[in-house]
């Protein structure tokens, strides 16, 4: 029987992944942790503990005490926030990953580790359309540099110490459960809240900035599918490209206006524009499709409809 540790369970991915993992593995086998309090359904729905992934001593006790066999390490400082505190962000993102990799190397019970990478590993010298799995990677952001270095480290531990590390380069993730946390793609989440609540949104990217995105349900399904895939099928030991769909703020606005026709939008690009301009516009995820059958359900129209309905429910509008 697997016992799963989720680090970062209060975050955008963790808050939904924990619930899905509990459905599959049983609530008592999925241990949710974070440095901050998680939502009520995470805390009431199974074991939850405040735990700092940088505290390696407490971490190892926790892992041994609960006989953990799989770790999902989701805690990170995202692109926008990391540019505000570059050295601190580098330390948090790298030290936490190294703690987990060393733990997985030392503790025999740990069979698999999931760690998210990002489209932020790419930079302005990368082909921006249909970005291949293997290509030039010269990231300009501290977040991207930490994800690129992290990819090198997970591959190193995989090959040298036989730690079964698995990873996805997530595009922007769109979800309604937890608000996005300091990324460059966050506009595509914020806009739904502001559109539903106020009918007006000021976008921090220009109207034609195209970025790859994915609805959270597809991201969660892909993450679990990758973790459940037979390891002999996985040719990529760094991180798998995942495409989803690509759209610009203008295209998203047009879709939202089908539900909220009077939505007013203004564009006021800030420092995140330069980050977005250095990232791919669309992603080639054919290797993920081939190796572990990755596929998606949500297109722009479908995710827009779900987001609006869910945000309306949340605020009873």
Tell me which residues are annotated as active site. 143
Q: How far is the CB of 171 from ligand AKB (least distance, A)?
A: 6
Q: Does 120 bind ligand AKB (CB under 6 A)?
A: yes
Residue 170 touches ligand AKB, criterion: CB under 6 A: yes
- Select from 14, 139, 172, 249 the one that contacts ligand AKB (CB under 6 A): 172
Least distance in Å: CB of 84 to ligand AKB?
12
**Which residues are within 8 A (CB) of 261 and not within 5 positions of it... i.e. 6 or more apart?**
none
Q: Is 119 in the site for ligand AKB (CB under 6 A)?
A: yes
Centre a 10 Å sphere on the Cβ of residue 148 and count the other Cβ atoms it contains. 21
CB of 209 to ligand AKB, least distance (A): 12
Interface segment toward ligand AKB; rule CB under 6 A; list 50-58, 98-106, 115-123, 251-259: 115-123
Which of residues 59, 77, 78, 101 is near ligand AKB by CB under 6 A? 78
Burial label for 208, CB within 10 Å (0-12, 13-18, 19+), is exposed
CA distances from 14 to 144, 179, 246, 309 (A): 20, 12, 23, 22
Half-sphere exposure of 205 (CA within 13 A, CB side): 29
Q: Pick from 79, 146, 175, 304 the residue near ligand AKB by CB under 6 A.
A: 79
In terms of Cα–Cα distance, which of 279, 266, 264, 251 is closest to 188? 251
244 in contact with ligand AKB (CB under 6 A): no
| Cα–Cα dist 208/117, whole Å | 25
Give min distance, CB of 141 to ligand AKB, in A.
Answer: 8
Stretch that binds ligand AKB, among 103-111, 158-166, 182-190, 234-242 (CB under 6 A): 182-190
118 belongs to the binding site for ligand AKB (CB under 6 A):
yes
* Least separation in angstroms between CB 83 and ligand AKB: 10
Reported residue count of the chain is 317
Q: Using CB under 6 A, which of the segments 21-29, 118-126, 154-162, 290-298 binds ligand AKB?
A: 118-126
Q: Which of 129, 107, 275, 287 is nearest to 206 (CA)?
A: 275
SS3 247: strand
Site for ligand AKB in 128-167 (CB under 6 A): 143
Shortest reach from residue 184's CB to ligand AKB, in Å = 4
Q: In what order do the strands lie in the sheet with 165-166?
A: 48-50, 30-34, 4-7, 70-73, 112-114, 165-166
Considering the rule CB under 6 A, would residue 183 count as an interface residue with ligand AKB? yes
* Residue 178 lies near ligand AKB (rule: CB under 6 A): no
Q: What share of the chain is helix, strand, coil (3-state, %, to 5)?
A: 45, 15, 40
b/e per residue 67-91 (b: at least 16 CB within 10 A): ebbbbbbbbbbbbbbbbeeeeebbe
The footprint of ligand AKB (CB under 6 A) covers 78-79, 118-120, 143, 170-173, 183-185
């Amino acid at each position: 029987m697997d016992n799963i540790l989720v680090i970062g369970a209060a975050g955008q991915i963790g808050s939904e992944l924990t619930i899905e993992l509990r459905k599959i593995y049983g609530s008592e086998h999925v241990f949710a942790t974070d440095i901050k309090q998680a939502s009520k359904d995470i805390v009431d729905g199974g074991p939850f503990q405040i735990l700092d992934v940088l505290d390696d001593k407490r971490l190892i006790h926790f892992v041994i005490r609960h006989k953990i066999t799989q770790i999902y390490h989701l805690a990170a400082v995202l692109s926008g926030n990391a540019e505000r505190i570059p050295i601190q962000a580098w330390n948090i993102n790298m030290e936490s990953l190294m703690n987990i990799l060393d733990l997985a190397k030392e503790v025999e019970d740990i069979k698999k580790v999931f760690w998210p990478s990002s489209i932020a590993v790419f930079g302005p010298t990368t082909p921006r359309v249909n970005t291949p799995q293997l290509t030039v990677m010269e990231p300009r952001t501290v977040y991207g540099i930490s994800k690129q270095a992290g990819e090198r480290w997970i591959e190193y531990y995989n090959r040298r110490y036989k730690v079964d590390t698995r990873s996805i380069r997530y595009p922007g993730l769109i979800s309604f459960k937890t608000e996005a946390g300091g990324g460059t793609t966050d506009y595509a989440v914020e806009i739904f809240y502001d559109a539903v609540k106020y009918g007006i949104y000021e976008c921090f990217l220009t109207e034609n900035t195209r970025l790859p995105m994915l609805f959270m349900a597809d991201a969660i399904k892909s993450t679990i599918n990758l973790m459940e895939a037979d390891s002999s099928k996985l040719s990529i030991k760094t991180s798998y490209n995942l495409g989803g769909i690509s759209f610009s703020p203008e295209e998203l606005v047009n879709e939202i206006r089908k539900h909220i026709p009077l939505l007013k939008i203004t564009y006021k690009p800030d420092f995140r524009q330069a980050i977005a301009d250095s990232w791919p516009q669309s992603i080639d995820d054919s290797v993920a499709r081939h190796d572990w059958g990755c596929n998606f359900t949500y297109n722009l129209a479908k995710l827009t409809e779900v987001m609006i309905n869910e945000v309306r429910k949340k605020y009873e509008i």
